[in-house]
Amino acid sequence: MTTQTAAAAISVDDVSKTFDTPTGRVEALRNVTMEVRPGELVCVVGPSGCGKSTMLRILAGLTEPTGGTVAFGEPNGSPARKTMVFQDHGLFPWMSLLDNVAFALEADGVAKIERRRRAGALLEQLGLGDFQDRFPDQLSGGMRQRATIARALLTEPQVLLMDEPFNALDAQSKLVLQEELMRLWETGGQTVVYVTHDIREAVVLGDRVFVMTGRPGTIQLELDIELPRPRDVFERDHPEVEAKAWTIWNAIEGQVRRNLHIPS
């Protein structure tokens, strides 16, 4: 993005979530409380099944909490603009790359010519300008996911919610897109909540990392990441990265082993 976005703060207060399933009630989240500052990039990690994605869907307004509240503080008092990026790119296979990205503005009533113009400009900025007329199955996985991020950013959200967006990519593509994400965030200034299983990814990307317990998920640890910005995503052997990664692993190792039925 070329201009700073007026970012929103996020306040999660005592949020719980229970699901009714054919085998009974499942408590996914219990008393989750966290604060995210405007313009901050925070990462959330935890064992599989701990409710990370459920919490993100609650922040996005896609799922209602069973208890507790979520509030977005935005500078001018208007509702915060939020968008979510999922693991699956979610591009429409029958649309060109340009029309897939431009689709983000259709619900806002933006005229077709204007939304295609804005989408094209952003694709150029992301190095995808030469692929505007391609269809999703003609693109690499990294290109499809970059287009998904472009679609999310086109609406100029104040809050960007990301659910393991690079999980399905190969290691090299993942590193490049992590670097691109940080460049876009440092330029755009959105508040970002980034869910990941990758501990080092969380430490390298985040201003802070929230560590969740196993189900029912709650916040067990909050870590400040004191690496200077801009950051080099390739510098994963930095002493700060290594120390924070081990702190996180020590917090979740027992639950990970229990999930795999491996004794500690």
Check if the beta carbon of residue 205 is closer than 8 Å to that of residue 234: no
In this model, does residue 263 exceed pLDDT 80? Answer: no
d(CA 162, CA 254): 26
pTM (2 d.p.): 0.90
Task: Give the model's pLDDT for residue 5.
Answer: 58
CATH number for the segment(s) 9-81+158-259: 3.40.50.300
Task: Give the model's pLDDT for residue 2.
Answer: 39
Task: Give the model's pLDDT for residue 237.
Answer: 78
Domain ranges within the chain, ordered by starting residue: 9-81+158-259, 92-155
d(CA 100, CA 117): 13
Highest-scoring range by mean pLDDT, 93-107, 163-177, 191-205 = 191-205
Across the range 195-208, mean pLDDT stands at 94
Q: Pick the residue with more confidence: 88 or 251?
A: 251
